[in-house]
Structure 1
Amino acid sequence: MFAAYQPRAASAYQRINVETSMHTIDQHQLVSLLYEGVLSSIATARGALARGDVLTKCNSVSKAVRIIEEGLMTALDRDAGGELAQNLEALYDYSLRRLLLANAHNDDAMLAEVAHLFEPIAQGWNQIKTPTAAAVAPRAEVRVAAMAGA
């Protein structure tokens, strides 16, 4: 009557779910997820390195590299981004080289360095879209003033 658990079916459902959600999130949220993915992958690689789990370390560093190369670098708008896009591209390039060296030499300090480079950028990016109380208050005052004058 009921079929046994099918890992392939669950995997296919998960892929479809991820692909569907990718179409419903905005570009800002997508970049936030990419930054989160890089930081998470580096944290996993550092933990694996500490445990001596070479396979997980290599896979995690590879994941971080792919996110930077295929996600963050390709998302840069080099024409409209000006100096900021150039600086981010240089940072991404440097980070890629450090991740590859860290992987080859089992160097936790290099992994930590890249994480420390990405953390403030990810935090800043997340704060761009989050309205602060100071920014919301003037808008509310304008609406109240407009309603009072109407």
Structure 2
Amino acid sequence: MLPGKSARAEPPVRSDYRAGCAITTRWNDNDPYGHVNNAIYYLWFDTAVNRYLIEQGALDITGGDTIGLVVNTGCDYFAPIAFPDEVMARIRVDRLGNSSVTYGVGLFRGDEDVASAAGSFTHVYVDRANRRPVSLPAPLRSALEAIQL
């Protein structure tokens, strides 16, 4: 290992997460190297988190007074995903604050138990009109607590 470098993270497993959704890869997700482009993984993070919140009735993306703004993301890649793979995006809450939440997201290829990629995704919840942070509304907090580690 190089000086100043930390050891590579171990890939998580499905049971490390609390909820999730299936995602179908598309032909145009692949890059010239024959696997899904890294930028697509961030789209999947966003999809998994927001789908969960919408399904729980905790987020109204078109008319709600509170919206989540992404302030930080990160990803570790362990194995390639490529079209036409099916992907399971699994999520959990790693940190729950007054107006923010950090999600852990694992991306699993097909039925594999070990993640192909794992990342984090932080939302700060703000008032839709003035973009100032607000306390998490009770339904949102409840949905987040349900998937908190």
TM bucket, shorter chain: under 0.3
| Greater relative contact order (CA < 8 Å, ≥ 6 in sequence) | 2
User: Normalising by the residue count of structure 1, what TM-score does the alignment of the two structures yield?
Assistant: 0.25
More strand by proportion, 1 or 2? 2
User: Normalising by the residue count of structure 2, what TM-score does the alignment of the two structures yield?
Assistant: 0.25
More helix by proportion, 1 or 2? 1
Kindly name which structure, 1 or 2, has the bigger radius of gyration based on alpha carbons.
Answer: 1
